[in-house]
A and B are shown apart, each in its own frame.
Chain A
Amino acid sequence: MPTTVEDPRTVEFDVRTDEMLVNMGPQHPSTHGVLRLVLRTDGEVVSEVTPHIGYLHRCAEKIGENLAVRQWIPYTDRMDYLAAMNMNLGWSLTVEKLLGYEPPERGRHLRVIIAEMGRIASHLVGMGAYGLDLGSFSPFLYAFRERERILDLFEAACGARLTYSYLTPGGATADLPSGWTDQCLKVLNEFEPVIADYHTLLTSNAIFVKRTAGVGVLSRKKAISYGASGPVLRASGVDWDLRRDGQPCYTRMYEGYDFKVICQRNGQYEAPPGAPKPPYDVVLGDCWHRFYVRMLEVVESIWLVRQAIDRYHRTDNLLPRDHGTPFKLTDKLPPGEVYLETEAPRGQMGFYLVSLGGSAIPWRARARSSCFSNLSTISDIGRGCLIADIPAIVGSLDIVMGEIDR
């Protein structure tokens, strides 16, 4: 005779629920901008995620086909608006690649300082907003407190706090003001010890780990196939960073610098002292790893900025203090086509420039967005998770819609 006591779990799975389409966004605080996700759900379980993008589409590429290369710089600001400096840098380097121009040494070190400070500021938002997604409010305030000080530095350098247009083809619009690097070092000295607090608040926080460990696992193979890049790719265990592996005209900027590519090798991270070890229940490629990689990259960036400031000052008397751009707006571009990817905070930001010659305006200006490819993984890694995990996954990809929609 069969037993009459039913296993409660069997009952749970026997309950038939109707499939329901849940619309998340475009105005949803945890979708980081205007992203709309249509979830096909069965009870709490998501069986299909369909992202709809394009709400911020401005066809920036069409604008780029109608402007001189330097005039497009402000439009690149508005792609990844949380790391506008890195967007400026990507386009500037692409133009320089076409022209075969190399900025002076001092300009190169200046760019490293600015690009890495931009990376820190961007990762701070990524980290703070991720806490917010998961219901922890205070890390957001701490992150913005630090980011604010970096924005103050950027404001001192170029006058803008969000859309800088600071790095241009040829170098930068102006040299750093006197005393800027001292301020910068002061900010870094005060920021560095605080990172331990962030680890306490989030990285090793039991609730945070429960929400992120094993959620949204992106395997190494899938990450490569989907063209994911940046921290999303490295968190899946792919040892790939364009600052080290990129094209020569980009890696030259980082020549002689000492930095590590943050990635798990042989099951281990080369974590700086003080950083917590991965908890036992995390899986390579999950949300926790993506977050952790960003946290460790901040430390690397701080170290890079320190080296760059040192080098920047050592070039003081060797080169004239002039890195205004050598190109006029009406200067004609040589014919040719170049594609260059740089390591922006969110991944590989690629620019493709086609010039037919005889004109200052490119025939085609194309921006390959890193978040565009990173987001396309969502229908794969979001399948089979719970509704509450969707904000955790989207947040861990750290997307900026301005860059996806362009």
Chain B
Amino acid sequence: MTHDALAFARLHAQFGDALSQPAVASGVSEQSDPWLNVEAAQIAKVAKFLRDDPELLFDFLNELTVVDYLPPADKKLAAAVGDERLEVVYHLSSLTRHKRLTLKVTTPRLVEGALPEIPTVSKVWKTADWHEREAYDLFGVTFAGHPNLQRILCPDDWQGHPLRKDYQSPLEYDGIRGR
């Protein structure tokens, strides 16, 4: 199952301005997966196109996750991280065509103090329903149009989003003392 050049080409024909060229992390061997950057506002449309286009048929969303790029104190590492941002990553497969595709949506970590918002893809792939809830729970990305955007792994009254790099573990929860 290989990465899909056809999908890159067809997506560019359809959504030229909403996409960047396929990117690979710099200085990496060919083992690293290529991906395609998609503009946040377009992701739901791109997703629907990828699923329904008869030549692409990406019917299977393997997973949806987020990576938090917050420059750390270490200068060398901070240079590798680059700008402060969150990246939402979509790993897709086509079960009929045996192809894979990775999409990325970049969003600010906070928008004027509030959590960032991107369109949901849970109407395209139902897998995204729970995966988006998980992304919201652990990273604090909200998905506009999601049917039930609640915490899924942490308790409902949990404060903060644990997988963010600047997250501080609480000293106490519900009368239970931490370290």
Contact = CB atoms under 8 A, between A and B. Distances in A.
A366 B129 CA distance: 18
B36 to A, nearest CB: 13
A356 interface: yes
B60 A224 contact: yes
B31 A363 contact: no
Interface string A222-239: 101111000000000010
A14 B125 CA distance: 38
Contact of A339 (B2, B91, B125, B155): B91
Contact of A336 (B29, B63, B100, B138): B29
Interface stretch (B4-12, B42-50, B73-81, B109-117): B73-81
Interface residues of B, number: 44
A376 B126 contact: yes
A98 B155 contact: no
A336 to B, nearest CB: 3
Nearest to A61: B163
Given A53-B152, A356-B81, A368-B63, A59 B162 contact: yes
B178 interface: no
Contacts of A373: 127, 130
B144 interface: no
Contacts of B30: 100
Contact of A54 (B76, B81, B155): B155
Interface in B25-46: 25-33
Interface in B128-172: 129-130, 134, 138, 151-155, 162-163
A249 B1 CA distance: 10
Interface in A365-389: 366, 368, 372-373, 376
A97 B67 contact: no
Chain A at the B interface: SS class: mixed
B27 A357 contact: yes
A225 B123 CA distance: 10
A339 B33 contact: yes
B133 to A, nearest CB: 10
A98 B32 contact: yes
Interface in A315-370: 334-339, 341, 348, 350, 352, 354, 356-359, 363-364, 366, 368
A96 to B, nearest CB: 9
A253 B22 CA distance: 29
B19 interface: no
Contacts of A335: 25-28, 80
B28 A334 contact: yes
B152 A59 contact: no
Given A224-B95, A225-B125, A226-B126, A358 B62 contact: no
A233 to B, nearest CB: 9
B130 to A, nearest CB: 5
A260 interface: no
Interface of B: 1-2, 24-33, 59-63, 65, 67-68, 76-77, 80-81, 89, 91, 95, 98, 100, 102, 125-127, 129-130, 134, 138, 151-155, 162-163
5 contacts: A57-B153, A100-B29, A238-B95, A341-B62, A356-B80
Given A247-B1, A364-B67, A376-B129, 12 more contacts: A54-B153, A61-B138, A98-B32, A224-B60, A225-B126, A226-B127, A227-B63, A227-B127, A240-B95, A335-B26, A337-B25, A372-B130
